[in-house]
Structure 1
Amino acid sequence: MLLRKTYGIDLGSSTIKVYSFLKNKSYMEKNMVASKGHTIIAIGNEAYEMFEKSPVNIAVNSPMTFGMIANLELQEIALYSMMKKIDKFLGIGSDMFFSVPLDMTAIEKRAYYHVVNGHWLRQKRVYMVEAPIADALAMGIRMEKNEGSMVVNIGAQSTQFSILTDGNIIMSRKVPIGGRQMNEAICAEIRKRYNLQIGTRTGKRLKIAMGRLNDQRKDARKVVGIDSISGLPREEIISGYVVNAGIMDCVNAIAAEMKIFLERIPPQIAYHISREGIYLTGGSTRIPYIDNYLASYTGVSFNLSPFYEKSTICGLEKIIRDRDLRNWAQPVKQRKL
């Protein structure tokens, strides 16, 4: 272990998070690739700067969709580019710990294996850790003799509900609503009320700056968009109420699905969850008061993670650094797929 370079990797729909054991440091970069035909123009944060600004002949996309690898070749290039920024001499024979979704098929496992054993990266050992397990370890949930804990991760494109008991995930559900859908809902709300078209990047900035669920503080921001009628650029002052209305549509949908999920939990496990509280993490949990809002909707208290979108990579860091936790990582070999 000491002679091999070890990395923890969380491939997200929005960002790539990598933990380097040798440097004892985590890195994060946008998971985007800008390409013109078969030519790569930009990768990572540079590609994100081109998002919604590029001409028609340049495509700027994320290789991940709803937490799964959608384009294997582009994902390998994006990861390789980030790894080279972290360590210029990657060499061969590194250990790669991936956080992966639940209930993966053999084809989906093969995709993760080929990301680090393809054209750019080679001869890597691959270990897979289920994402809810990594989140639970990061938030200090006791895995052994656990009578029932619930972890909710609101990601970039989806929200995952998971129930853990005695170190096993007994129930799980993924809802296709996340931070990106909130950005789109804000854009739709502004288009409906102001006849102004803005990009999702602007919607995200408004969400971060003015997004509040319980605090009805008067706030406003000036934005520039395209007039839906004339087609010309126009400035408009956007109220915080409009931004919150877009966010609430998505949060209410997540809360409704969560309430249905809670009703399916066996009573003895539901009792421990209500006593302990639901563990909440993910990038979109940075919205102020989101834990209080969900608690008022579901009737269950929430424990908000201080790691937000870095929760999963913090869990991988714990697994890499603590040999006693290594049993949560399953080795994967190509011949077994």
Structure 2
Amino acid sequence: MLFEKTYGIDLGSSSVKVYSMIRNKSYIEKNMIAAKGRKIIAVGNEAYEMFEKAPSNISVSSPMAFGMIANLELQEIVLYSMMRKIDKILGIGSVMYFAVPLDMTAIEKRAYYQVANGHWLRKNRVYMVEAPIADAIAMGVDLENNEGSMVVNIGAQSTNFSIITGGRIIISKKIPIGGRQMNEAVCSEVRKRYNLQIGTRTGKRLKLVMGRLADQHKQARKVVGIDSVSGLPREEVISAYVVNAGIMNCVNEIGAQMKVFLERIPPQIAYHIAKEGIFLTGGSTRIPHIDTYLASYTGYSFNLSDLYETSSVTGLEKIIHDRELRKWAQPITQRKL
């Protein structure tokens, strides 16, 4: 159809990324929703502003958990709200390309179909693209003539390792460590060293401002938290070394799991990966020198993507515009589920 609306959608644990073909632009918004009982108060970035600040009778949460849809109804509300901001008149019969995790069950596939064909969004055609394939396309990996490539995506709540060869994923693994666990590790280190309790949003700010896995500088930031002993608010100057100690706990675990994963790979493919380098992407790769740190830990070189959390939706954008790449998108109908 000439005026058919086409979207590329990446539902992440931290944020929702949507590419609109008509506007030729990508949009990103926090995957958060604030509710008081059954009443929705705020969605997206507005809900994130209330995170860790809302009273006890208002719950602020993400409909996604570890890269999978945890609450179908709330996820549809978040997606619908975001798409209404992009296009005031959505209409019906749009085409939606979703970047999805690997090895989904029929129930999990049904959840993605229902998000696009539920109460608010209706009669949409749904295509699913495996997230590592979308990442690889975004980073320029040749999927057709591929002797072996490894894609690592460090997301908000999980890290995915995938080996692509001959145009398909042969081995993959997901571990429950990501940016949110790094934030919590920073909060834990601050609590141990300073007897100060801080929120995960403050932990995230410290991670982004002072987190450096190599070439560490003597930096410090003043934060406000709750004293663990007295229970009163207190200011404290936090050293960068404490922040980096928390981050390194998680990155070391990712590196250890990656070494175990690489040992499972056939030698011919491992040789090609060592020659080409491991492709690294995801929102949590914004930490400076994370590629250098992982390279020294694993012994492999890394190709760090500058797309970060938008790599999957950029891959979907390329698939939407290039008919040759659409063979990587699998149509999903209700009859198939």
Q: Partners of 1:156 and 1:200 in 2: how far apart?
A: 13
| SS at structure 1 position matched to 2:16 | strand
Deviation digits for residues 78-137 of structure 1 (CA, Å, limit 9, x no counterpart): 000000000000000000000000011110000000001110100000000000000000
What is the 5 A alignment of 1:1-337?
1-337=1-337
| SS at structure 1 position matched to 2:81 | helix
Q: Partners of 1:141 and 1:2 in 2: how far apart?
A: 31
Q: Partners of 2:276 and 2:123 in 1: how far apart?
A: 43
Q: CA deviation at 1:240?
A: 0.2
Q: Partners of 1:79 and 1:272 in 2: how far apart?
A: 40
Q: CA deviation at 1:3?
A: 2.3
Deviation digits for residues 232-262 of structure 1 (CA, Å, limit 9, x no counterpart): 0000000000000000000000000000000
Q: Partners of 1:107 and 1:297 in 2: how far apart?
A: 38
Write out the 4+ residue segments of structure 1 that deviate beyond 2 Å after TM superposition: none
Q: Partners of 1:271 and 1:152 in 2: how far apart?
A: 17
Q: Partners of 1:116 and 1:312 in 2: how far apart?
A: 18
Question: Matched residues, percent identical?
Answer: 78
Q: CA deviation at 1:2?
A: 3.4
| SS at structure 2 position matched to 1:48 | helix
Unaligned runs of 5+ in 2: none
| SS at structure 2 position matched to 1:41 | strand
Q: Partners of 1:13 and 1:151 in 2: how far apart?
A: 19
Letter in 1 for 2:116: V
Q: CA deviation at 1:215?
A: 1.4
Deviation digits for residues 32-68 of structure 1 (CA, Å, limit 9, x no counterpart): 0000100001000000000000011100000000000
Q: Partners of 2:57 and 2:3 in 1: how far apart?
A: 46
| SS at structure 2 position matched to 1:23 | coil
Q: CA deviation at 1:166?
A: 1.1
Q: CA deviation at 1:321?
A: 0.6
| SS at structure 2 position matched to 1:226 | strand
Deviation digits for residues 115-174 of structure 1 (CA, Å, limit 9, x no counterpart): 011101000000000000000000000000200000000000000000000110000000
Q: Partners of 1:26 and 1:255 in 2: how far apart?
A: 31
Q: Partners of 1:68 and 1:155 in 2: how far apart?
A: 12
Deviation digits for residues 279-328 of structure 1 (CA, Å, limit 9, x no counterpart): 00000101000000000000000000010000000000000010110000
Letter in 1 for 2:314: C
Letter in 2 for 1:119: H
Q: Partners of 1:97 and 1:161 in 2: how far apart?
A: 22
Report the count of equivalent residues. 337
| SS at structure 1 position matched to 2:118 | coil
Q: Partners of 2:116 and 2:256 in 1: how far apart?
A: 39
Letter in 2 for 1:243: V
| SS at structure 2 position matched to 1:162 | strand
| SS at structure 1 position matched to 2:145 | coil
Q: Partners of 1:210 and 1:284 in 2: how far apart?
A: 14
Q: Partners of 2:108 and 2:316 in 1: how far apart?
A: 20
| SS at structure 2 position matched to 1:3 | coil
| SS at structure 1 position matched to 2:89 | coil
Q: Partners of 1:247 and 1:104 in 2: how far apart?
A: 30
